Amino acid sequence: HVDPTASHYLKIVLDRIFDKENFRNEIIWQRNQKRGKGSQYSSKKFGANTDTIFFYSKSDSYYLNITRKLNEEERLLKFKKADKEGHRYYTGIPIFRSKSMGERPNLCFEWRGFKNPYPSGWRLSKERLEEEYQKGNIVILSNGKLERRMYEQDYEGLPLDNNWVDIPRISKKESLGYPTQKPLALLQRIIKASSNLGDVVLDR
C-alpha cells in the first residue's frame, strides 16, 4: 500500500522482487466518499483522495477469493419488479442459447410442452430447468411464454473490481492515533481475498 506520490517508484521495486509477470492488480482505494477532512484539495491541482494497493503473487499458483458486492444503487436499478409476495426480481436472463453459440444436440429437448427454437438448444439441462421452475425462478406466464427470473435474495452481486470506493476512512472508534492507519474493513477485505482460515499473514 502506498499513496500516489510514490506508487510508480515502488512498483519498479516490487517488479524486481516478485517479477513483473507476477503483478496482478493495481487497486485504487478511495479514502473518503464525501469531500472534506482527510482529502487533499488545492486550487493548483485536482484533489487527492485515493491510495494505491499493489497485488502481486509469488507464482502462477495462488489463492484468490473475489468478493461479490451489491450496492444500493445497483439494487434499485436491477430489481424493479416484485411478485405477489413482494419479493423483488429482474428478468431478461436468456433461457435459450443463441444461434451463434453453435449446435448442442444434448440441449435440444422438449420441456413442459416447450421446445428450443434453435439447434443450439436450451441454456440449462432438463434437470436444471425443472429445478429452477420448482424454485420459482422460471415462470410460465399467462401469455404462454417463459420468463426466467433472478430474485434479489439469490443475487450475489457483481465481482469486485480494482476500484474500491465503498470502504470509508477509519472512524474515531477505530482510531489509534496512527496517522496512516487503515480501516479494519479494508484489511479484512484484503486478508479474506488472499488467504484461507488458519493461514499466517505478515503485516509490515
Helix (H) or strand (E) holding 75: helix 72-78
Strand partners, 111: 114
**Domain assignment present for 99:** yes
**Shared domain check, 170 and 120:** no
**Domain assignment present for 134:** yes
What pLDDT score does 35 carry? 57
**Shared domain check, 129 and 52:** no
Per-residue pLDDT of the chain (204 residues; tens, 9 = 90+): 788 889 999 999 999 999 999 999 999 999 876 655 545 566 788 888 899 999 999 999 999 998 887 777 777 788 889 999 999 998 989 999 999 999 999 999 999 999 988 899 999 999 999 999 999 999 999 999 999 999 988 888 888 999 998 888 888 888 888 888 899 999 999 999 999 888 988 876
What pLDDT score does 77 carry? 81
Whole-angstrom Cα distance, residue 152 to residue 91? 11
Residue 130's region, left for phi above 0, alpha for psi from -120 to 50, else beta, is alpha
**Domain assignment present for 173:** yes
**Domain assignment present for 203:** no
165: burial class by Cβ within 10 Å (0-12, 13-18, 19+)? Answer: middle
**Domain assignment present for 105:** yes
What pLDDT score does 133 carry? 96
**Domains of the chain: total:** 2
Which residue in this structure is represented by grid cell 444500493?
72
Cβ atoms 2, 52 nearer than 8 A: yes
Residues ≥6 apart with Cβ < 8 Å to 37: none
Q: Which domain, by its residues, includes 28? A: 7-66+161-194
Helix, strand, or coil here: 74? helix
**Domain assignment present for 201:** no
For the domain that residue 54 is a member of, what is the CATH number? 3.40.50.150
What pLDDT score does 68 carry? 82
